[in-house]
A and B are shown apart, each in its own frame.
Chain A
Amino acid sequence: MQSGSRLPWAQGQSPPGGGVGRVSWPGVGPNLSGQAACPSPHPQEAMQMVPKFCFPFDVEREPSSPAVQHFTFALTDLSGTRRFGFCHLRAGAHSCLCILSHLPWFEVFYKLLNTVGDLLAQDQVSEVEELLRNLLQQPLPGPQASVELGSGVTVSSAQSIPPPAPGNSGPLSCFVAPDSGRLPSIPENRNLTELVVAVTDENIVGLFAALLAERRVLLTASKLSTLTSCVHASCALLYPMHWEHVLIPTLPPHLLDYCCAPMPYLIGVHSSLAERVREKALEEVVMMNVDSNTLETPFDDVQALPPDVVSLLRLRLRKVALAPGEGVSRLFLKAQALLFGGYRDALVCSPGQPVTFNEEAFLAQKPGAPLQAFHRRAVHLQLFKQFIEGRLEKLNTGEGFSDLFEQEITSNGASAGALRSYQLWADNLKKGGGAFLHSVKAKTQPAVKNMYRSAKSGLKGVQSLLMYKDGDSGLKRGGSLRTLSLTSRSDCLQQRLPITQHFGKNRPLRPSRRRRLEERPSESLGEGTPALSPEDAPDPWAEEALDSSFLGSGEELDLLSEILDSLSMGASRTGSLRPSQSLDCCHREDTDSCFSLPDIAGRPRWQPENEKAPEPQPLSLPADLPSLQTLQPSDATTSSKDPMSQPALEASHEIILPSLSPPASAQPSSRGDPASHHLILHLSPPHKAAEEPRAQESPCSQLSMAPTQSSPPESPQLLVPTKPNLDITWTSQPLEPLDSSSDPGSPENPRSEPPEVLPAKHARSQLPEGPGAPAAPDNDWQESQARSRPRVAELKKCFEG
């Protein structure tokens, strides 16, 4: 409705960093005109859909949840680029705050939403506006940097930052980006924690097997937070592989027919809709009911896995599932290494030629009948194919890798003997090495070695590349939020990699990695590698990181203490861990404290987390291979990517913070009714994304608050390209998705346009009414607090016991 006015503070403001723009959503329009360019951008379309995704359940049947629910939905555009919608569904389910972003920063965004919710509950609308605006406009914090969002909220990639000075009366919070270099751990990683709490070991293995066979998998649960967490966490178990097919964490009611798709998918359906889905005569679908912890499958996928792997999983999972730490992630990593580790021996590297993968050689390996049988099927899996392509690309572009997976293969190979030729590789490494090898130590992978050799002749500086880990620059989600108590490691923080944002797909691009090459040529390369100018000398860093990747017992202790610290924040009661409960709780507490990530070096293990954006692999294939290969002084290649590598909160996401009323529950009239507020904060993806969806490396963030329901007048403004990004509006009308054609939040914004802030005067005036009674939040908070206690206490017990 009243949209046209600009926020006072927004006027004349130009985006920091410039070049920030909105990316239009390349939706497929209902346009049947048959024009050559069928897929045309229809940003509004996607934005119109957002409210439906915010209430992905049968609003008429589903009683409102007593607690706040945090869940995620995913929007996948025509190019396959994925954006996540992080939702905060308020008690009573009449409004939902949502942030759209390519960044899989689950914990960060959920907490941020809590903060926003609390502020709104206190009618601190201007603080919210400022916070969101800052969020959209600020670039992603670089290593060791932090971004002040106002209201005492800070987003940081380092822990060394001093606690934000108490700003207003708002909560004092510090959100730390997840560390991509780690495996998801319990309880920091919320998704994984929810999965192991809700689903028994046996079924987790079954789910893993089904995903590994690329089945059509449907999960149902009555709690949205549990549902979407299980979806994301189960995908993450596939690391270093990625779920390459359709992924829909929560399927809104109007799209239920899509469960009939003949291709592989992983879809979450709220239990209120499960019945309707079952009526669809699904064929060959693996169904997992999280509430009842039952898995129905027409296949024998678990039996199709090598028995030793299955027994390993079954035996060990039980033990590690309830213990804090990375045990679960590491167990599945081990399984993956056993299953796919043999790929290395099928890599073919001849001088002057790109490294290739010889499928025949892979299948000709004799690791034992069961594994061979598995391999014969595996080569027809998309996830395996993409994994191989990703590895080859890294090798051939000189990026190299030495990630957790490779390390795991190495250790497996040594102990299990599954990889017979490993020793040969290792021997070769020893002989050929030099300084580079020393620095990398035994952790260098054979594949890397190959790379090194072929590179030797032509690629100098490649070696330095090899030292960087996969996870470095990638953003991963994961909860690596730590308490301040860890600050002692701040020195290590310096080594922290910049946070990048590529997300959109399962596998994010990682620009920053390349940039890193530039920045930190390794000195360890003694050979004076030319290419990357060694200005900064991160070597020590590299080594530290590598070393730390090996689990040191000492490190583990640190981890544990960290966990305890964080757990101790609120726990006192005891309860049962097992029952499927969700973890909504625990998270509210964060608002009051500052969490930060431990430095890399200090980390117990350097591992990329998997989840959504698990080890980010460059998707942008081929294009630069040649040039990279010649990585000579390279500035060309690196520099070109550089800009992008510095992501920014700026461009990388689209934050939508709308409070939507449930589609069905329209109860318009009454003012002050929470249901009727629509506040959408819209962060648009990097402008580049539009052109090269895959390479969303350069994020430009924009903040826009748009009314979901908007009055016609408003929408025009938002659509205007150069217009402001931030538009806050509030309407007293119930949100009806279909009617919101004029959705202002629509990403039509011009891509390369500098972000501007949209006017939202009325927003201020009206917002106050919206978010409903201030008291509500408090209740929620308390409730969640209370709920969290049992779990935390349990974990603590486990830990201590």
Chain B
Amino acid sequence: MSMEDYDFLFKIVLIGNAGVGKTCLVRRFTQGLFPPGQGATIGVDFMIKTVEINGEKVKLQIWDTAGQERFRSITQSYYRSANALILTYDITCEESFRCLPEWLREIEQYASNKVITVLVGNKIDLAERREVSQQRAEEFSEAQDMYYLETSAKESDNVEKLFLDLACRLISEARQNTLVNNVSSPLPGEGKSISYLTCCNFN
């Protein structure tokens, strides 16, 4: 895809406990479209996928970093420049679900910045080992005012939908200018402007 061949560019950051399948999720989504793994040696990697929504080309950059598990939670500084967060847990791992409030606590304090947060319960292909019921997760995400989706990176279930839905929401947010004008940063004097129309030279 050519570099300027898109109408929107969004940067999405993945967070969540170790082993919940963050990396697989993205790989599945971008499968075959962008060679991932280049950044594996430097502790950060990203994948790109361009989707078309209502005739508009939306380029999604999905970023992931190595070693998140060493953090009990990730602080705002990590995602303050992201347009959206995908918070992932493993439905077969109660512990990963129980950690969510810890992750969210930091995000909530950041809520004024309008970062879109999506909660993803991964590994639904392992339904027989499910430890967190869908209802429970939905109630939780509702209480947190988050979009919730269950996926299987392995089977590709809902993966496409996840990113498409996210792209839609990002566009709509962008249209409302919330992304551009409403973002206040935690640090004073931090002129934040998330430009979703930036031209990046990704090939």
Contact = CB atoms under 8 A, between A and B. Distances in A.
A263 B66 contact: no
B40 A46 contact: yes
Interface stretch (B41-49, B93-101, B133-141, B169-177): B41-49
B90 to A, nearest CB: 11
A360 interface: no
Interface in B145-203: 153-156, 186-195, 198-202
A596 B169 CA distance: 62
Given A82-B43, A246-B44, A28 B36 contact: yes
B42 A79 contact: no
Contacts of B77: 213-214, 245, 264, 380-382
A510 interface: no
B144 interface: no
Nearest to A277: B201
Contacts of B32: 32
B201 A380 contact: no
Nearest to A264: B77
B46 A79 contact: no
Contact of B201 (A45, A74, A280): A280
A36 B40 CA distance: 18
Given A263-B81, A505-B70, A76 B42 contact: yes
A247 interface: yes
Interface stretch (A253-261, A288-296, A607-615): A253-261
B67 A257 contact: no
Nearest to A244: B71
Contacts, number: 190
B203 to A, nearest CB: 8
Which has the most chain B C-beta neighbours within 10 Å: A42, A216, A298, A303?
A298
A593 to B, nearest CB: 36
Contacts of A281: 198-201
B42 A45 contact: no
A275 to B, nearest CB: 12
Query: For chain B, which range describes its interface: under 10, 10 to 19, 20 to 34, or 35 or more residues?
Result: 35 or more
A262 B15 CA distance: 13
B-side interface mostly: loop
A81 interface: yes
A389 B200 contact: no
A60 interface: no
B16 interface: no
B43 A77 contact: yes
Contacts of B65: 80, 245-246, 263
B104 interface: no
Given A81-B67, A258-B46, A283 B40 contact: no
A74 B28 CA distance: 28
A255 B70 contact: no
Contacts of A214: 77-78
Which has the most chain A C-beta neighbours within 10 Å: B66, B153, B191?
B66
A222 interface: no
A377 B69 contact: no
A385 B71 contact: yes
Given A80-B70, A385-B73, A258 B199 contact: no
Given A34-B154, A619-B70, A385 B75 contact: yes
A694 B70 CA distance: 8
Nearest to B110: A380
A29 interface: yes
A380 B77 CA distance: 7
B44 A261 contact: yes
Query: For chain A, which range describes its interface: under 10, 10 to 19, 20 to 34, or 35 or more residues?
Result: 35 or more
B112 interface: no
A45 B37 contact: yes
A261 B46 contact: yes
A46 B70 contact: no
Contacts of B74: 382
A75 interface: yes
A-side interface mostly: loop
A75 B39 CA distance: 10
Contacts of B153: 34, 38
B43 A38 contact: no
Contacts of B66: 76-80
A298 B187 CA distance: 12
Contacts of B63: 261-263
A36 B83 CA distance: 28
A248 interface: yes
Contact of B187 (A75, A80, A213): A213
B11 to A, nearest CB: 4
A737 to B, nearest CB: 12
A38 B24 contact: yes
A257 B200 CA distance: 8
Contact of A248 (B42, B67, B75, B76): B42
Which has the most chain B C-beta neighbours within 10 Å: A38, A262, A300, A621?
A262
B61 interface: yes
A36 B23 CA distance: 10
B11 A247 contact: no
A300 B192 CA distance: 12
B115 to A, nearest CB: 11
A376 to B, nearest CB: 9
A380 B106 contact: yes
A38 B23 contact: yes
Interface in B22-39: 23-24, 27-28, 31-32, 35-39
Contacts of B44: 76, 246, 258, 261, 263, 265
A32 B27 contact: yes
A14 B153 CA distance: 44
Contact of A299 (B67, B82, B109, B187): B187
A1 interface: no
Given A28-B40, A245-B78, A284-B192, A260 B70 contact: no
Contact of B190 (A80, A81, A299): A299
A27 interface: yes
A263 B13 contact: yes
Given A28-B36, A80-B70, A257-B202, A381 B41 contact: no
Given A39-B23, A79-B66, A263-B81, A304 B75 contact: no
Nearest to B192: A284
What 9 pairs across the A-B complex have the smallest Cβ distances? A80-B67, A76-B43, A300-B189, A28-B40, A214-B77, A38-B24, A262-B81, A262-B11, A380-B76
Interface of A: 27-32, 34-36, 38-39, 42, 45-46, 49, 53, 74-82, 213-214, 216, 244-248, 251, 254-255, 257-258, 260-265, 279-281, 283-284, 298-301, 303-304, 373, 377, 380-382, 385-386, 389, 505, 619, 621, 694
12 contacts: A30-B35, A34-B31, A78-B66, A80-B65, A82-B43, A214-B78, A246-B42, A260-B61, A303-B189, A380-B77, A385-B71, A694-B70
Given A81-B67, A262-B13, A279-B201, 18 more contacts: A29-B37, A30-B37, A34-B154, A36-B154, A39-B23, A46-B41, A74-B42, A77-B66, A213-B77, A244-B71, A247-B43, A248-B42, A251-B42, A262-B61, A262-B79, A264-B78, A280-B200, A380-B106
